[in-house]
C-alpha cells in the first residue's frame, strides 16, 4: 500500500472554492487522498454543497472522509445557508440534557444531508484561561472534567447515533494555550502528571465513544522540548497511544497550515514529521498546492512506518456512513429545528471579544 495511493491516503485536503476546478479534480483523482475538509468558502447553498461532496466521492476509489468543523456558535461553517446551533458554552450553561442531545441529532442530520461523514468535534479542551484569546472562546464545554464529560459526551453520543463520526480535540490540552495557534506556537509548562490530573480525563472517559483524536499545535517542553504535541512522537506514540491506550483510534493533526506550524516548516517536513510521530492523517487545509510533494515525501518514509497508519485509515473509512438521500424538505425541517433550539438556548454575553481565524474559515 505504500505506493502513490497508499501514501496519499494519509492526507486530508482542503478545497479552494464552492466548485471543483479542473486542475483540482485531476490532482484529487491522481492522489486519492483519504478525504477532504469543507470550510465556509466551499458552502454557497445546501444543494451546491451536496453536489460538491457527491463529486468528491465520484473521484474516489473508496469512500472518502468528508469532514467539517461544525461545533455550533461561532464555529459554524454553514452560517450562510442555515441557522447556527447554540455554542458549547451556551449549551453547557443553559441547555437541558434533551436540548444537548437534540443539538447532536440536528448536527448529524444537517451534515449528512450535505454529504459529510465526519465532524471535527467535540472540543474536549478544559477552559483554563477564559480571559485569553487562545482560539477557544465560546468553544469549550467547561473547566471541570466531569461537566465536560457529561455535556460534550451527550452531544457526541447523539451525533454518532445518527450516523456521523466524531473527532475529539485538541489533545492533550489546547485549553492551556496562552496564545492562538492560528498565529503562533503556544507553549504550556504542563507535565504528564498535570495532564493526567485533569485534561485527559474526558478523553479516557469517553474513549469507547470517540472515533478519532485531533492533536493540538501546542508545545509542552516538559514532555517534548523540541516538537509541538501534533508532531511529537513522545506525545502521540508514547502518551496517547502507548500510555493511554488509544492504539486503535484514528489520530490526526490539526491544520498544518496554521501559523503555529506553517511558519516553522516551510518545506513539507511538517507532514512527514506528523506521520513519523504517530499520526494517521495530516491535514493540509489551505495550501493544497503542496499536496503532491507532501504525498511523495510520505511515500518515501517506507512501509515499516506507514503500515499501521494505513490500516487504521482503511478501517475507519469502512465504518463511515453514507450520506442521507438529499431532501429539501428534510433540510428545511432540520433548519427549523436548529432555529428553534437556538431561540431556546441563547448565547451568553461574551466577556472577551472572540477574535480568531477559526471562526472565519
Strands (E), the chain: 11-14, 35-38, 65-68, 70-72, 75-76, 118-119, 165-171, 212-215, 250-255, 281-284
The residues near 70 (Cβ < 8 Å, ≥ 6 apart) are 76, 77, 78, 85, 107, 110, 111, 116, 119, 120, 121
Catalytic residue among 128, 170, 182, 249: 182
Active site includes 217?
no
**Length reported for the chain:** 361
Closest C-alpha among 125, 169, 138 to residue 37 = 169
What stretch of H or E contains 108? helix 97-114
Positive or negative, the CA dihedral 287, 289, 292, 294 is negative
Q: Which of 83, 98, 107, 141 is nearest to 343 (CA)?
A: 83
Of the candidates 331, 281, 343, 327, the residue with the CA atom closest to the CA atom of residue 306? 281
Which position among 127, 180, 194, 254 bears the catalytic label?
254
Question: Is residue 254 annotated as part of the catalytic site, yes or no?
Answer: yes
List the catalytic residues.
182, 254
Amino acid at each position: 500500500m505504500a505506493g502513490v495511493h497508499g501514501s496519499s491516503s494519509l492526507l486530508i485536503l482542503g478545497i479552494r472554492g464552492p466548485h471543483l476546478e479542473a486542475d483540482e479534480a485531476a490532482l484529487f483523482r491522481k492522489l486519492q487522498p483519504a478525504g477532504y475538509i469543507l470550510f465556509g468558502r466551499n458552502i454557497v447553498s445546501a444543494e451546491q454543497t451536496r453536489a460538491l461532496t457527491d463529486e468528491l466521492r465520484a473521484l474516489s476509489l473508496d469512500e472518502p472522509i468528508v469532514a467539517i468543523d461544525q461545533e455550533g456558535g461561532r464555529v459554524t461553517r454553514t452560517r450562510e445557508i442555515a441557522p447556527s446551533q447554540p455554542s458549547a458554552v451556551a449549551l453547557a450553561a443553559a441547555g437541558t440534557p434533551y436540548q444537548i442531545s437534540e443539538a447532536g441529532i440536528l448536527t448529524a442530520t444537517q451534515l449528512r444531508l450535505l454529504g459529510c461523514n465526519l465532524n471535527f468535534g467535540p472540543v474536549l479542551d478544559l477552559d483554563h484561561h477564559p480571559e485569553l484569546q487562545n482560539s477557544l472562546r465560546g468553544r469549550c464545554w467547561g473547566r471541570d472534567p466531569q461537566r465536560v464529560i457529561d455535556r460534550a459526551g451527550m452531544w457526541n453520543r447523539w451525533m454518532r447515533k445518527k450516523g456521523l463520526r466524531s473527532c475529539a480535540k485538541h489533545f492533550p490540552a489546547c485549553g492551556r494555550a496562552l496564545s492562538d495557534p492560528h498565529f503562533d506556537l503556544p507553549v504550556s509548562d504542563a507535565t504528564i502528571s498535570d495532564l493526567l490530573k485533569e485534561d485527559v480525563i474526558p478523553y479516557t472517559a469517553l474513549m469507547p465513544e470517540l472515533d478519532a483524536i485531533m492533536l493540538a499545535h501546542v508545545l509542552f517542553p516538559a514532555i517534548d522540548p523540541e516538537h509541538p504535541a501534533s508532531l511529537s512522537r513522545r506525545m502521540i506514540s508514547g502518551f496517547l497511544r502507548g500510555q493511554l491506550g488509544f492504539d486503535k483510534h484514528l489520530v490526526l493533526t490539526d491544520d498544518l497550515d496554521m501559523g503555529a506550524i506553517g511558519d516553522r516548516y516551510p518545506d513539507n517536513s511538517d507532514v512527514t514529521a506528523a506521520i513519523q510521530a504517530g499520526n494517521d492523517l495530516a491535514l493540509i487545509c489551505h495550501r493544497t498546492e503542496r499536496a503532491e510533494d507532501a504525498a511523495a515525501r510520505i511515500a518515501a518514509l517506507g512501509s515499516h512506518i506507514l503500515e499501521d497508519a494505513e490500516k487504521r485509515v482503511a478501517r475507519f473509512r469502512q465504518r463511515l456512513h453514507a450520506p442521507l438521500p438529499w431532501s429539501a424538505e428534510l433540510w428545511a425541517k432540520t433548519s427549523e429545528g436548529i432555529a428553534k433550539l437556538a431561540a431556546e438556548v441563547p448565547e451568553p454575553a461574551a466577556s472577551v471579544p472572540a477574535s480568531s481565524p477559526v471562526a472565519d474559515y
